[in-house]
Structure 1
Amino acid sequence: MGFAVQRTRREYVRPSSPTPPASLHLSIIDRVVGLRHLVRSLHVFPSPSPSPRLDVTETNKPLPLSSSPPARVIREALGKALVDYYPFAGRFADGEGGPGTARVDCTGEGAWFVEAVAGCSLDDVNRLDHPLAIPEDDLLPDAAPGVTEFTCGGFVVGLISVHTMADGLGAGQFINAVGDYARGLDKPRVSPIWAREAIPSPPKLPPGPPPELKMFQLQHVTVDLSLDSINKTKSSYFVSTGQRCSTFDVAIAKTWQARTRALRLPDPSSRVNLCFFANTRHLMSTAWPVTGHGNGEGFYGNCFYPVSVVAKSGEVESADIAGVVGMIRDAKTKLAGDFARWAVADFKEDPYELSFTYDSLFVSDWTRLGFLEADYGWGTPSHVIPFAYYPFMAVAIIGAPPVPKAGARIMTQCVEEEHLPAFLEEVKAFDK
């Protein structure tokens, strides 16, 4: 059966106090044209189990939880957070060179905010576990982010952000700032810094023809990997190498191998590609402004490097999972050197100019962005549902299953229908 979602309020939320009327330049990474897209996600908060609001008085007593509806609390907190993050209340302005020369005009016009109510409880829709019982567009309208409240008292925060303004860590930092204000803090626990000038700006290569984007009929698939199976692979990798690996390493290794096997490429020497995006804030310790932290804490712009792994399809298919993990770990060890060479323009091909082909898999990790720690006063979300998929790009997103489940959740749009059964069979075999 269908469940109605009614939008009850739409408005621009402006900064709650005056902000500088500046015009800010973006970094060379921000201005990558491919990043001028919307990232959509749903953040599911079950029926309230109030966490004490942080004390900001001298009495050292917990502040009472607000009796206001979550949407009202979040709307007011958003206005306060937009004072600290005032560029988010501004607008893009393209230079003479189009989006590749864009800047941000800090106009203070505000962020679009929508409130809605659902005529059901979260339990009625299986707490929005997959498959979604309510269409994503009903909870996350194309026009704007919003908050939908359910009859049980639970709520969903729908977030739409432009990747040009912030990478995943930056967006998570902003959402946590809204949560800090919602819980009664006088200021965010992490102070934001713009500092786009700190990002290296090597000369761009002469532009070539725009890439031809082939559209694929990619299928949505969501599967969970058990914690036991993940830990077995970690143990196997440690025994064979004496080194540790992460849950992310294991999850993308299994996904890449399952997809490669499912493609059944006739020539085992055919090249298959894996690309994931690594945070590089820690590689720029001398570049940041004096903030008390040399690791870039507080920077919310794009600060990542595309890490590529290229291998023969036969090697990926025949290796055990620990062997595929090794390929990924080897690529990670090259990150510092590759980023340093890019920073001084020591490259023949721009690593940020990506090629989208069916033999390439792009992976994003959503477990460490801070979204799962966001708390508006009713506890942290049970899970986060990203919708960062595009028909020209085979994508796998690594997330966490809804609490209290453990393990890893793989949300993919990476194979066409003819390869879907084999891909599912390979992924599910991991837990056998």
Structure 2
Amino acid sequence: MAKLSSSSLAFTVRRCEPELVSPAKPTPREYKLLSDINDQESLRFQVPVVQFYHYNLSMQGKDPVKVIRDALAKTLVFYYPFAGRLREGLNGKLMVDCTGEGVLFIEAGADVTLEQIGDALHPPFPCFDELLYDVPGSDGMLNCPLFFIQITRLKCGGFVFALRMNHVMCDGDGLKQFLSTMAEMAQGTATPSIPPVWERHLLDAGEPPRVMCKHNEYDEVEEGAIAFSNNTVERAFFFGRNEFSSLYQLLPLHLRQCSTFELLTACLWRCRTIAINLNPNEEVRMMCIVNARSKFNPPLPLGYYGNAFVYPAAKATSKQLCQNPLAYAVELVKHAKASVTEEYVKSVASLMVIKGKKLKFPMHGSFLLSDLKNMGFKEVDFGWDKAEFAGVAKAVGPISFVNSAKDKKGEVGVVVSICLPAPVMERFVKELEKMLMQPNQGDEDRSNLISSAL
């Protein structure tokens, strides 16, 4: 069974008053423009990330709150735009006012152990709102702190590191780079091993801007009634070796070399489309996130921490996707991913300039899956060793995230949180179960490839 159920655990969290942690040394007071990719409307939301750490005897007598707060202040000297505030200029152009005001920070403690939270840590987490308190006024886009961090000490001596970041500032690679620098500072390093690179102009449109590619991800469509209202539920689904083996059995031989992420993307897109039960002729889109760093010639510089991804859309009618076999969806996903070149990225930037920054992907009939399993968040070590779990804490509407995780038996795999209205979720679960009923035929080579991919 792929579905994971969250614990109903309840615990009490005691919080100190929120504070602002500013750079440990004076930083430049200036304005920094975001790129034409960075400041699109679709990125104007906040992403919640959580990391769980066990007690470490070698750190006895050291307070994780103080260690991380001090490391944050030192890191902000190098990443000083994160200590500023977002402003909106002419035609919606976003820029950072590097005020040095700081990052929002909360010190907290909870009367619970890591073991009580759960044997298999995975989203959605019990009482996550307690682990990342929603400070009134902290969730805006403009004139607000760009990062919000809460460190919660646990009764066992471990702790929870939770943060919320303004997505227009950076992507997963950029966040990992920032957190890795914090970890280096926490362990006594004076300067980052990878210096941060701003250089947002590298992802600006050309002059004059030219849209050279087709961009189905920004199609203007009439928004339908499948809204992500208060009646939504979120469930986590685990995919390990057995689940992926079952899915590969559904593919013809020539497609069995597709990646596990391409297969997972196609599977979830198809199950979700069947579950939401659209008109057969309505179009559905699967946004395929592609890291553009290596698409440039030369590649973007090491240390670039802005958003450097695009999300070309695989597109089909609901009928085409639901009535064709899984291979049909896999082919569409592979084709969309392969379409990304440097020219494609520049075309997206040009589209933002020509059509305006308010352009965003259509919510109706769209699904977006972000692969974070190899991002390395678990490797971030503040001195207490690697995290037990690290990744995005929950789905954000039609956007889901793939995190590396273990099931209750200790098997390594990936976990995906899906957010859907309650009756739609029931249909989704049934469709996924049907797809996973394929017997594992024991292809040892494929099984080894799956294990290495996970």
TM-score > 0.5, shorter chain as reference: yes
Aligned to 2:75: 81
Question: What SS does the corresponding residue of 1:145 show, helix, strand or coil?
Answer: strand
2:333 is the alignment partner of 1:324: no
Verify: 1:7 aligned to 2:15, yes or no. Answer: yes
Once residues 232 and 401 of structure 1 are traced to their aligned partners in structure 2, the CA distance between those partners, rounded to angstroms, is 19
Aligned equivalent of 1:251, options 264, 272, 275: 264
Code of the residue aligned with 1:354 in structure 2: it is: K
With structure 1 as the length reference, what TM-score do the two structures score?
0.83
Q: Which amino acid aligns with 1:107?
A: T
Matches within 5 A, 1:292-307: 294-307=299-312
RMSD across aligned positions (CA) = 3.2
Q: Do 1:43 and 1:156's aligned partners in 2 also have CA atoms closer than 8 Å?
A: yes
3-state SS of the aligned residue for 1:116? strand
Corresponding position of 1:113: 105
Would you say 1:375 and 2:381 are equivalent positions?
yes
Gapped regions of structure 2 (runs ≥ 5): 1-8, 136-147, 212-218, 438-454
Matched, 1:364 2:370: yes
Q: Post-superposition shift, 1:101?
A: 2.0
Give the structure 1 partner of residue 338 of structure 2. 333
> What is the CA distance between 1:266 and its match in structure 2?
5.2
Q: 2:93 pairs with 86, 94, 101, which one?
A: 101
Distance 1:204 1:159 in 2: 37
User: What's the offset of the Cα at 1:368?
Assistant: 3.2
Instruction: Name the CA distance, whole Å, in 2 between partners of 1:172 and 1:125.
Output: 25
Q: Give the number of aligned pairs.
A: 402
In the alignment, the residues of structure 2 paired with residue 211 and residue 68 of structure 1 have an alpha-carbon distance, to the nearest angstrom, of 55
**Aligned equivalents of 1:141 and 1:396: distance in 2?**
22
Q: 1:232 to 1:139 in 2, by over 3 A?
A: same
Identity %: 28
Partner Cα separation in structure 2 for residue 157 and residue 412 of structure 1: 23
Residue 141 (structure 2) pairs with residue 141 (structure 1):
no
| Paired AA for residue 223 in structure 1 | F
| Runs of at least 5 residues in structure 1 that lack an aligned partner in the other structure | 51-64, 287-293
Alpha-carbon separation, structure 1, partners of 2:413 and 2:55: 23
SS of residue matched to 2:311: strand
C-alpha distance in structure 2 between counterparts of 1:375 and 1:70, whole Å:
11
Query: CA deviation digits over 1:364-403, x for unaligned, max 9?
Result: 222233322211111222223525645xx42322222247
Is the aligned partner of 1:36 residue 2:40? no
Relative to 1, partners in 2 of residues 1:27 and 1:338: Cα closer, same or farther, differing over 3 Å?
closer
Pick which of 151-160 and 352-361 moved more: 352-361
Shift of 1:216: 2.8
Distance 1:132 1:239, change over 3 A: closer
Confirm or deny: 8 A CA contact 1:282 1:296 kept in the other structure.
Answer: no
**1:177 and 2:181 aligned:** yes
Looking at structure 2, the residues matched to 270 and 102 of structure 1 have their Cα atoms a distance apart, in angstroms, of 34
In the alignment, structure 1 residue 271 sits paired with structure 2 residue 275: no
Partners of 1:77 and 1:167 lie apart in 2 by 21
Q: Is the 8 A contact 1:363 1:398 kept in 2?
A: yes
Give matches, 1:189-204, under 5 Å. 189-202=193-206, 203=209
Q: Quickly say closer, same or farther: Cα 1:308–1:129, change in 2 above 3 A.
A: same
Return the match for 2:238 from 224, 228, 235.
Answer: 224
What one-letter code is carried by the residue in structure 2 that aligns with 1:401? A
TM-score normalised by length of structure 2: 0.79
In structure 2, what residue type is equivalent to 1:75? R
SS at structure 2 position matched to 1:158:
strand
What residue in structure 2 maps to residue 312 of structure 1?
A: 317
Q: For the residues of structure 2 that align with 1:164 and 1:347, how far apart are their CA atoms?
A: 16
Q: In the alignment, residue 421 of structure 1 is paired with which amino acid? A: E
In structure 2, give the amino acid aligned to 1:277.
I
Q: Secondary structure at the match of 1:187?
A: coil
Contact 1:220–1:411 (Cα < 8 Å) also in 2: yes
What is the CA–CA distance in structure 2 between the aligned matches of 1:210 and 1:260, rounded to whole Å?
17
Aligned residues of 1:5 and 1:118 also touching (Cα < 8 A): yes
Once the two structures are TM-superposed, the CA of residue 355 in structure 1 deviates from its matched residue by: 3.7
State the alpha-carbon separation in 2 of the partners of residues 66 and 352 from structure 1: 50
Distance 2:72 2:276 in 1: 46
Provide, for residues 85-105 of structure 1, a one-character-per-residue CA deviation record: whole Å limited to 9, x for no partner: 0111112233244xx223112
- For residues 196-217 of structure 1, the C-alpha deviation after alignment (integer angstroms, 9 at most, x for no partner) is 1111225499xx9999797433
The amino acid of 1:152's aligned partner reads: C
Taking the aligned partners of 1:204 and 1:423, their CA distance within structure 2 comes to 40
Q: 2:157: which partner in 1? A: 153
Once the two structures are superposed, residues 303-360 of structure 1 have per-residue CA deviations (whole angstroms, 9 ceiling, x without a partner) of 1112100013233224443442222111111111533544566999789933434321
